């Protein structure tokens, strides 16, 4: 599909009606804590809300949405302009923001860092997230904050829960059930009870799907089952004091269409503590402290979710069992240093240890009997400061500085080059210590008629993560432990305007990356008996630019039109090639109609052809495979509010059963019992879904 054809398709349906509530067009303050609120109408969100402030988008994950309600964090983020997802199967895709994946996009769960265990990215942080169990999702695009951990070269995503203080004894909660095609079913139950002095909150989720079919009717190896349980106990002696202890346990299994193994176990165990004190004095607005422990125990094998047939080379099933323990904490002090100037000072720290055990024949050498081997240790501690200063009622300056002290150890005596072969590790027992810096400066000006202009420049230095330094090789040796840190400098420009019921946002960026960590596959390396193929980490220089444009308007009180365009372009300056794994131009158009208790809507998603690629180059998740054709997908939805607190929504995604794949998705793998009919893992075909939600309590 050419760009012209894409624009024509969007404009042809632009005369049809859409809908949303008036509150969707009003700015929201992401810092306010509030209780889960009743859904205001039967409206289904079919495009993400426009930014609430420069570079910041805030969403309510409990609000109804289309496409089909998300079962993990990456699937939810895909609905935000600028985001894409690398599909591997039915779940656990990797989110990509403006072409950047992995640890370039910092994901926080209630302020905690959660790092997956799988060296092949079966479990990115978003794999452990059921979006509806959170109250708010905040996205910051670009390196435009230093408050929430290292990296952030692409941006930051915070999944947060809010527990408002009870003014008198009471309870409140949310329950929902969803069913859909391909055996999809989700169940959520959340309840909170308490008094003005304390509260207790419990959340349980479960999500399941069978294999899905693409638009050609081909069955995709993609079934999964996931569940989670979260509990929180809080003490609230006053409106300005809160102490909270939380615990989480979750597990599941997932089949993958892009590889020779599946995920048989995704166990997460978490415990956390948070404290918050507000209005301590005239100048001390808030003190925050947090400590947490996250443990991930992961198992992948080639027999639990697929048929295993013994061969001479593989007489028994293979099992790979990594785990990771992450501990961290944060202290922050918010000061009112002048009448209108706010300063936040703080420090944070994090340490994580990764181990692995595996077997080439589970029948004769069970993995439970194998010794866990340490294969990576990382530590980080940091100091940060961020200031907001308004010059006048219309001008504001926001700036921040951060210094990160990194330590890493490589305890591997050998490097595995296959399930059956190892090489001596040239960086065995090597240690690295580096101090990396980050900072940004942003100017915002409120101009005329509700317009806000902003310009910001940010710089961030990112230490190589486990997948880049440990699970890959370098060009010259079997270890990539000495891969240089990545340094990103980015300019962000934008304009926001609200006039009556019309809201517009334009966001542009230009970034230069020194020592960009590129992952390159199918690199030929010598072996004693010939050659072998390896996947390596290497540093290159790169340039990226692009942006997002969004418009939302409400007509006659019951019609709404939402439209957005997102584009990213990347250049590998060192190799003189396009930067790999960059999604193409994407446009979305939402249309709908709302009555008092019901609604209807339509979503059109158009994606341009991508012929800029670099075969075998990419990121820690996947590498480019070649060009992809454009496509347009049409989806419908409806909502009905039969009684107070009740909401029934439903829809059909991919109405015309189009067979298509995202440009950045993984390649397919030959799996016994499944027919491979595409290069990439195709998206689901036509899917029907129905969901019922209930808000209860007071």
Q: What is the DSSP string of 315-344?
A: SS--EEEEEEEEEEEEEEEEEE-SSS-EEE
How many alpha carbons fall within 13 Å on the CB side of residue 356? 22
Q: Record the tokens describing residue 635, joined without a space.
A: 């989806």
Q: What's the average model confidence in pLDDT over 371-378?
A: 97
Measured at the CA of 460, the angle between CA 457 and CA 465, to 5 degrees, comes to 150
Is the link from the previous residue into 67 a cis peptide, with omega within 30 of 0? yes
Q: What's the pLDDT band for 501 if we cut at 50, 70, 90?
A: confident
Residues 100, 127 contacting (CB under 8 angstroms): no
**In what helix (H) or strand (E) does residue 12 lie, and over which residues does it extend?**
helix 3-12
Q: What's the average model confidence in pLDDT over 462-473?
A: 97
pLDDT value of residue 40: 44
Whether residue 425 is predicted with pLDDT greater than 70 in this model: the reply is yes
Q: What's the pLDDT band for 4 if we cut at 50, 70, 90?
A: very low
Q: What's the average model confidence in pLDDT over 56-78?
A: 91
pTM value?
Answer: 0.92
Whether residue 564 is predicted with pLDDT greater than 70 in this model: the reply is yes
Phi, psi for residue 3 in degrees, rounded to 5: -60, -40
Whether residue 500 is predicted with pLDDT greater than 90 in this model: the reply is no
pLDDT value of residue 42: 61
Tens of pLDDT along 84-136?
A: 999 999 999 999 999 999 999 999 999 999 999 999 999 999 999 999 999 99
Cα 50 to Cα 58: distance, rounded to the nearest angstrom: 8
Torsion over CA: 484, 457, 101, 514 (sign): negative
Tens of pLDDT along 10-63?
A: 333 333 332 233 333 333 333 333 344 444 456 676 666 788 899 999 999 998
Tens of pLDDT along 578-614?
A: 999 999 999 999 998 888 889 999 999 999 999 999 9
pLDDT value of residue 46: 61
How many alpha carbons fall within 13 Å on the CB side of residue 187? 8
Supply the mean pLDDT for the chain. 91
DSSP state of 28: -
Q: Calculate what percentage of the chain has a pLDDT beyond 70.
A: 93
Q: What's the pLDDT band for 7 if we cut at 50, 70, 90?
A: very low
- Radius of gyration (Cα) for the chain, nearest Å? 25
Tens of pLDDT along 544-563?
A: 999 999 999 988 778 889 99
Measured at the CA of 469, the angle between CA 467 and CA 473, to 5 degrees, comes to 95
pLDDT value of residue 29: 36
Tens of pLDDT along 392-413?
A: 878 999 999 999 999 999 999 9
pLDDT value of residue 527: 84
CB burial of 656-695 (b: ≥16 within 10 Å; e: otherwise) equals eebbbbbbbbbbbbebeebeeebebbbbbbbbbbebbbbb
Domains of the chain, by residue range, sit at 3-697
Torsion over CA: 466, 468, 472, 476 (sign): negative
pLDDT value of residue 677: 80
Count, in order, helices (H) and strands (E) of the chain. Answer: 3, 35
DSSP, collapsed to helix, strand or coil, labels residue 413 as: coil
Residues 495, 53 contacting (CB under 8 angstroms): no
Q: CA nearest 141: which of 69, 50, 65?
A: 50
pLDDT value of residue 554: 85
Q: How many Cβ atoms from other residues are within 10 Å of residue 369's Cβ?
A: 8
E strand intervals along 464-612: 486-499, 502-527, 530-555, 559-572, 577-578, 586-594, 598-607
Whether residue 491 is predicted with pLDDT greater than 80 in this model: the reply is yes
DSSP state of 164: P
CB burial of 600-616 (b: ≥16 within 10 Å; e: otherwise) equals bbbbbbbbbbbebbbeb
Whether residue 382 is predicted with pLDDT greater than 50 in this model: the reply is yes
Tens of pLDDT along 183-218?
A: 999 999 999 999 999 999 999 999 999 999 999 999
Whether residue 1 is predicted with pLDDT greater than 80 in this model: the reply is no
CATH number of 3-697: 3.40.50.1820, 2.40.170.20, 3.40.50.300, 2.40.30.20?
2.40.170.20
Q: What's the pLDDT band for 530 if we cut at 50, 70, 90?
A: confident
Q: What's the average model confidence in pLDDT over 360-374?
A: 95
pLDDT value of residue 38: 45
pLDDT value of residue 449: 77
Measured at the CA of 93, the angle between CA 90 and CA 96, to 5 degrees, comes to 150
């Amino acid at each position: 599909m050419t760009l012209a054809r894409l624009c024509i398709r969007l404009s042809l349906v632009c005369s049809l009606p859409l809908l949303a509530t008036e509150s969707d067009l009003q700015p929201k303050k992401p810092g306010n804590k509030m209780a889960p609120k009743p859904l205001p109408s039967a409206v289904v969100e079919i495009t993400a809300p426009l930014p609430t402030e420069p570079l910041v988008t805030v969403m309510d994950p409990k609000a109804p949405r289309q496409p089909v309600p998300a079962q993990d964090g990456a699937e939810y983020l895909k609905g935000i302009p600028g985001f894409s997802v690398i599909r591997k199967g039915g779940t656990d895709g990797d989110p990509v923001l403006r072409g950047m994946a992995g640890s370039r996009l910092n994901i926080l769960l209630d302020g905690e860092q959660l790092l997956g265990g799988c060296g092949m990215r079966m479990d990115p942080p978003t794999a452990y997230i059921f979006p509806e169990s959170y109250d708010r999702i905040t996205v910051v695009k670009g390196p435009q904050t230093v408050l929430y951990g290292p990296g952030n070269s692409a941006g930051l995503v915070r999944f947060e829960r809010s527990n408002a203080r009870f003014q008198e004894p009471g309870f409140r909660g949310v329950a929902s059930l969803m069913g859909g095609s391909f055996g999809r079913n989700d169940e959520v139950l959340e309840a909170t009870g308490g008094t003005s002095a304390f509260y207790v909150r419990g959340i349980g989720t479960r999500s399941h799907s069978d294999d899905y079919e693409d638009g050609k009717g081909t069955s995709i190896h993609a079934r999964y089952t996931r569940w989670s349980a979260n509990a929180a106990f809080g003490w609230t002696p006053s409106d300005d004091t809160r102490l909270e202890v939380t615990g989480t346990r979750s597990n599941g299994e997932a089949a993958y269409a892009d590889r020779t193994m599946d995920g048989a176990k995704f166990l997460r165990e978490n415990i956390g503590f948070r404290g918050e004190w507000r209005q301590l004095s005239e100048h001390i607005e808030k003190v925050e402290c947090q400590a947490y422990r996250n443990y991930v125990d992961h198992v992948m094998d080639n027999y639990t979710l697929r048929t295993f047939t013994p061969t001479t080379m593989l007489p028994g099933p293979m099992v790979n069992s990594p785990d990771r323990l992450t501990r961290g904490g944060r202290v922050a002090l918010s000061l009112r240093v002048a009448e209108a100037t706010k300063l936040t000072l703080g420090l944070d720290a994090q340490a994580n240890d990764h181990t692995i055990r595996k077997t080439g024949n589970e029948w004769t050498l069970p993995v439970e009997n194998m010794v866990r081997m340490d294969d990576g240790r990382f530590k980080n501690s940091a100091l940060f400061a961020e200031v907001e200063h308004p010059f006048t009622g219309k001008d504001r300056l926001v700036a921040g500085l951060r210094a990160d002290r990194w330590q890493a150890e490589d305890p591997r005596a050998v490097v595995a080059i296959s399930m059956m072969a190892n090489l001596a590790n040239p960086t065995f027992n090597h240690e690295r210590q580096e101090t990396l810096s980050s900072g940004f400066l942003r100017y915002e000006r409120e101009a005329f008629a509700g317009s806000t202009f902003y310009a910001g420049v940010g710089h961030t230095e990112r230490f190589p993560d486990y997948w880049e330094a440990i699970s890959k090789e370098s060009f010259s040796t079997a270890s990539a432990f000495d891969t240089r840190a990545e340094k990103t400098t980015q300019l962000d420009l934008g304009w926001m305007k609200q006039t009556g019921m019309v809201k517009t946002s334009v966001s542009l960026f230009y970034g230069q990356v020194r020592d960009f960590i590129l992952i390159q596959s199918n690199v030929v390396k010598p072996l004693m008996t010939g050659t072998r193929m390896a996947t390596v980490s290497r540093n290159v220089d790169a340039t990226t630019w692009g942006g997002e444009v969004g418009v939302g308007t409400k007509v006659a009180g019951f019609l709404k039109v939402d439209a957005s365009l997102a584009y990213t372009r990347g250049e590998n300056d060192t190799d003189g090639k396009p930067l790999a794994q960059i999604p193409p131009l994407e446009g979305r158009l939402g249309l709908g109609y709302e009555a008092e208790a019901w609604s209807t809507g339509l979503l059109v998603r158009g994606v341009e052809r991508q012929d800029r690629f670099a075969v075998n180059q990419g990121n820690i998740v996947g590498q480019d495979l070649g060009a992809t054709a454009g496509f347009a997908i049409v989806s419908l939805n409806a909502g009905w509010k039969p009684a107070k607190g009740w909401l029934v929504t439903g829809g059909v995604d991919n109405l015309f059963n189009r067979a298509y794949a995202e440009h950045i998705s993984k390649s397919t793998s030959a799996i016994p019992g499944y027919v491979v009919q595409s290069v990439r893992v195709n998206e689901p075909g036509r899917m029907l879904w129905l969901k019922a939600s209930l808000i209860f309590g007071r």
